[in-house]
Amino acid sequence: MWTETDNSLHRSFRFADFKTAFAFLTDVAAEAERLDHHPWFSNEYNVVEFRLRTHDAGNAVTRRDHRLAAAIDAVAARHGAE
């Protein structure tokens, strides 16, 4: 699940391999564009880490972050996140 610390929502996902993680990130990019809300993320091999906050709200967590988090969860499930 997502945790809220330091004014951000945080979550990491692990996938079968790098290619799957990268395909996941490609689909996350489409969701970020659809929602006009973009994550900070980091990827190393099959692990992707997210931090979500709203820059337009002074880097606070808003409902836009929660909406993007839910969209990311749905994409992660489609890509078989462990």
The residue ranges that bind ligand H2B (CB under 6 A) are 36-38, 54-56
d(CA 49, CA 34): 20
- At its nearest, how many Å lie between ligand H2B and the CB of residue 42? 15
Nearer to ligand H2B, 16 or 57 (CB): 57
Report yes or no: 75 and 69 within 8 Å, Cβ to Cβ: no
Minimum distance from CB of 19 to ligand H2B (Å)?
26
Surface-to-core class of residue 45, CB atoms within 10 Å of its CB (0-12 exposed, 13-18 middle, 19+ buried): exposed
Instruction: State the minimum distance, in angstroms, from the CB of residue 52 to ligand H2B.
Output: 6
Decide whether 38 or 67 has the Cβ nearer to ligand H2B: 38
Tell me whether residue 15 or residue 50 sits nearer to ligand H2B (CB atom): 50
Contact predicate 10/41, CB 8 Å: no
